[in-house]
Chain A
Amino acid sequence: MTNVARTGQTLLIVASSMLFAAFTSAMVVRRATGTDWIAPSVPVWLWAAALLAIAASCLVAKKFYRSAALCGFALVASQIACAASLRMGDVAQSFAAVLVTAHAAHALFGACALWWKGERASLFWHFAGALWLYVLWLIGVWA
């Protein structure tokens, strides 16, 4: 990977981290100030989606970029299915939907990049995988 590509990706990662940090702090504040917070129940299969993210990262490490991208697409599909099943009228669920959808956008971008750019997109993909574990923790454990 060229230095320019690595720096560009690192900066993109910073921007994405800020986006999720902003969603997180909004969620923390909203839970603390409202009285209507009901812990959402995260479907079991969404946890399985974590395995997809990890598997994709392992495949990237082994240089199987297109297989990794396929895992990535499967992850996106499961995320969209999950987000579609959430009720937007419930505040905790609506936060979960926002986080899952925002992550799906990142995972889709990352998987496409893996498919076409291979190794050059690896850094971003590892970030997206770690971010998914964080999102799962946030909506599945913390919330």
Chain B
Amino acid sequence: MTIFSTDHKVIGKQYIGLSLFAVLIGMALSLAMRYHLVHPDAKVRLFQMLWPDGAPGGQMTPELYLSLMTMHGTIMVFFVLTTAPQSGFGNYFLPLQIGAHDMAFPVLNMLSFWTTTLSFLVLMAAFVVEGGAPLSGWTAYPPLSALGKIAGPGQGLGQDLWVLSIALFCVASLMAAINFIATIIELRAPGVGYFDMPLTAWAWFVTALISLFAFAVLLAGGILLLLDRMAGTSFFIPGGLVVSDQIQARSGGSPILFQHLFWFFGHPEVYIAILPGMGVISTVLSVFSGKKVFGYRAMAYAMLAIGGLGFLVWGHHMFISGMSPYSSVAFSVLTLAIGVPSAIKTFNWIATLWGGRIRFKAAMLYALGFVSLFITGGVTGLVLGQPGLDLYFHDTYFVVAHFHLIMGVAAIFAIFAALHYWFPLLYGRFLNETLGKIHFYGTFVGVYAVFVPLHFAGIAGNPRRYPDFKEYEFLKSLMPLHVGVTHAAYSLAAIQLLFLFNYFWSQRKGKLADKNPWGAATREWNHD
């Protein structure tokens, strides 16, 4: 049966298919949220049909809003940004690029994919169980996430399923990481040294190393959280907590402990999402400028440095958790230090373009868009990395804007670049260039139109994770801004239909591609 295939190419495409499905759901949820933010009192038939309890009479409750937000974040971070760039493209192209016949453990590879799929189904089940999906965000901070039904409708079975789903995802990701690393260490063809690998392979390698160290820690956090929920333990639930007028029979737990476990995973996770994209962008920029990547070795070392330093900075997500100012300073300095390898990469990308004969193909446009977004999103990271500034910005829309630009959108631009670039290998045809370019310009303008204003909302003190801004006097003046953002989000989503059409139409009807049409130097194009 091919659906349980152990062939790396099939599995790669399966991962890409899963991500595509996930991203559509994630996007639909975001539109529902943006709609609600500007029409908090609207009654919508569709909401009522989908969520009879969450939207009685079609009016979205705050709990439903928060559950949509939780599911949006979880789907996008785990099943899109962690799945497509690494497991999708990596599975398909890594063996081809290093001259291996397949991944090191093909059966394990198949199991990783199906465990990921199971994890996705378990997460989706949270929508339909009693109480609906959980409310505690993709970061699932306790006590909210640890208390159970008493803390809110989705905090019962919905949150159980969420934690279970994440635990499964951790297991799948660990299996995948082992496979990627073993493949690179053991299955490189004779004559392919580490520094002969394309930067894409380096990126998948470093990403797999990060996953290996990070997901085990999230798994530990998930197990402890599940026990707090189901076995009556007090790892994260403090004593004397009163919820809905009932005192909780737990003692001594530390919610901050969960934050440490989560962010020890969480910060490396943001690099898991972006590093494979960096690899793709290096390749695309070099192919379409007709030049070698500038500073190849520096690029590989920079990724290793980013991967290593990424484990030392998790505290920057917790500046306001009451940590000592001395720790804050240490985390801040380490955080800003990541700017150095990040800047090395950015300068090398620009130097790669310098003096090149640039072909502005759609893939190249997305790659340039990635560089732009990486810079815009990175600069605000430097702002947030200062504890003094973060005290104010934490939990505002400024953070939302920062991470959407740099993690969400930049990584997705890398996926678009990769699809345009590798489509001839994936399907023997080209994606349509004209549609690709229109889609690029629309998306590029769209994402800036959505996320630049959100920085200003953050600067004005607009908190994130609020379902209804008009409840607060100080947010009322920001409503016009939010209306604009919501309209930009609608347009952005509409433009994605163009890509969807292109993606499916070109698989059957696209222009036929001959061998190595872009004139690339890497092995996957010169494979039989």
A57-108 interface (Cβ within 8 A of B): 88-89, 91, 94, 98, 102
Return chain A residues, CB-CB under 8 Å to B254: 29-30, 33-34
Please tell me if the beta carbons of B233 and A89 are within 8 angstroms of each other in the complex. Answer: yes
Categorize the interface residue count of chain A: 20 to 34
Select which of B105, B174, B257, B264 is within 8 A of A30 by beta carbon: B257
**A19-B219, A23-B220 known; A88-B212 Cβ under 8 A:** no
- Please tell me if B388 contacts chain A, counting CB pairs below 8 Å: no
Return chain A residues, CB-CB under 8 Å to B227: 88, 94, 98
**A4-B187, A22-B261 known; A11-B223 Cβ under 8 A:** no
Please tell me if the beta carbons of A11 and B212 are within 8 angstroms of each other in the complex. Answer: yes
Which residue of chain B has its CB nearest to the CB of A102? B223
Please tell me if the beta carbons of B220 and A30 are within 8 angstroms of each other in the complex. Answer: no
Return chain B residues, CB-CB under 8 Å to A36: 234, 239, 251-252
Return chain B residues, CB-CB under 8 Å to A23: 220, 224
Please tell me if the beta carbons of B186 and A91 are within 8 angstroms of each other in the complex. Answer: no
Please tell me if the beta carbons of B234 and A91 are within 8 angstroms of each other in the complex. Answer: yes
Please tell me if the beta carbons of A91 and B233 are within 8 angstroms of each other in the complex. Answer: yes
**Per-residue CB proximity of A122-141 to B under 8 Å, as 1/0?**
00000000000000000000
B475-522 interface (Cβ within 8 A of A): none
Please tell me if the beta carbons of A91 and B235 are within 8 angstroms of each other in the complex. Answer: yes
Total interface residues on B, CB under 8 Å, equals 36
Which residue of chain B has its CB nearest to the CB of A34? B252
Return chain A residues, CB-CB under 8 Å to B105: 4, 8
Return chain A residues, CB-CB under 8 Å to B223: 98, 102
Please tell me if the beta carbons of A19 and B216 are within 8 angstroms of each other in the complex. Answer: yes
Please tell me if the beta carbons of A15 and B257 are within 8 angstroms of each other in the complex. Answer: no
Nearest CB of A to B214, in Å = 8
Which residue of chain A has its CB nearest to the CB of B104? A4
Return chain B residues, CB-CB under 8 Å to A98: 223-224, 227
Please tell me if the beta carbons of B178 and A15 are within 8 angstroms of each other in the complex. Answer: yes
Nearest CB of B to A124, in Å = 12
Select which of A4, A18, A25 is within 8 A of B216 by beta carbon: A18
Most A CB contacts (10 A, CB to CB) among B187, B231, B257, B264 go to: B257
- Please tell me if B364 contacts chain A, counting CB pairs below 8 Å: no
- Please tell me if B177 contacts chain A, counting CB pairs below 8 Å: yes
A98 and B252 alpha carbons, distance in the complex (Å): 18
- Please tell me if B295 contacts chain A, counting CB pairs below 8 Å: no
**Per-residue CB proximity of B173-210 to A under 8 Å, as 1/0?**
01001100110011100000000000000000000000
Which residue of chain A has its CB nearest to the CB of B217? A22
**Per-residue CB proximity of A1-45 to B under 8 Å, as 1/0?**
001100110011011101101110110011001111100000000
Return chain A residues, CB-CB under 8 Å to B253: 30, 34, 91
Please tell me if the beta carbons of A94 and B235 are within 8 angstroms of each other in the complex. Answer: yes
**A23-B220, A36-B252 known; A11-B178 Cβ under 8 A:** yes
Nearest CB of A to B62, in Å = 32
- Please tell me if B221 contacts chain A, counting CB pairs below 8 Å: yes
**A29-B260, A30-B254, A89-B233 known; A8-B182 Cβ under 8 A:** yes
Which residue of chain A has its CB nearest to the CB of B224? A26
Return chain B residues, CB-CB under 8 Å to A11: 177-178, 181-182, 212
Taking chain B's interface residues, is the majority helix, strand, or loop, or is none over half, making it mixed?
A: helix
Please tell me if the beta carbons of A15 and B220 are within 8 angstroms of each other in the complex. Answer: no
**A7-B186, A15-B178, A26-B224 known; A88-B235 Cβ under 8 A:** no
Which residue of chain A has its CB nearest to the CB of B256? A33
A36 and B250 alpha carbons, distance in the complex (Å): 11
Please tell me if the beta carbons of B182 and A4 are within 8 angstroms of each other in the complex. Answer: yes
Return chain B residues, CB-CB under 8 Å to A91: 233-235, 252-253
- Please tell me if B52 contacts chain A, counting CB pairs below 8 Å: no
A89 and B187 alpha carbons, distance in the complex (Å): 49
Return chain A residues, CB-CB under 8 Å to B220: 19, 22-23, 26
Return chain B residues, CB-CB under 8 Å to A89: 232-234
**Per-residue CB proximity of B93-130 to A under 8 Å, as 1/0?**
00000000000110000000000000000000000000
Nearest CB of B to A26, in Å = 6
Return chain A residues, CB-CB under 8 Å to B264: 22
Nearest CB of A to B321, in Å = 12
Please tell me if the beta carbons of A18 and B212 are within 8 angstroms of each other in the complex. Answer: yes
Which residue of chain A has its CB nearest to the CB of B187? A4
**Per-residue CB proximity of B452-487 to A under 8 Å, as 1/0?**
000000000000000000000000000000000000
Which residue of chain A has its CB nearest to the CB of B171? A15
Return chain A residues, CB-CB under 8 Å to B217: 18-19, 21-22
Nearest CB of A to B225, in Å = 11
**Per-residue CB proximity of B255-281 to A under 8 Å, as 1/0?**
011001100100000000000000000
A14 and B220 alpha carbons, distance in the complex (Å): 14
Please tell me if the beta carbons of B235 and A30 are within 8 angstroms of each other in the complex. Answer: yes
Nearest CB of A to B230, in Å = 10
- Please tell me if B213 contacts chain A, counting CB pairs below 8 Å: yes
A63 and B151 alpha carbons, distance in the complex (Å): 55
A91 and B236 alpha carbons, distance in the complex (Å): 11
A94 and B253 alpha carbons, distance in the complex (Å): 12
Chain A residues within 8 Å of B, Cβ to Cβ: 3-4, 7-8, 11-12, 14-16, 18-19, 21-23, 25-26, 29-30, 33-37, 88-89, 91, 94, 98, 102
Chain B residues within 8 Å of A, Cβ to Cβ: 104-105, 174, 177-178, 181-182, 185-187, 212-213, 215-217, 219-221, 223-224, 227, 231-235, 239, 251-254, 256-257, 260-261, 264
Instruction: For the A-B complex with A29-B260, A89-B233, A91-B234 known, give 12 more contacts whose Cβ atoms are closer than 8 Å.
Output: A4-B105, A8-B182, A12-B178, A15-B178, A15-B216, A18-B212, A18-B217, A30-B254, A34-B253, A88-B231, A94-B233, A94-B235
5 CB-based A-B contacts, threshold 8 Å: A7-B181, A19-B216, A19-B217, A22-B264, A30-B257
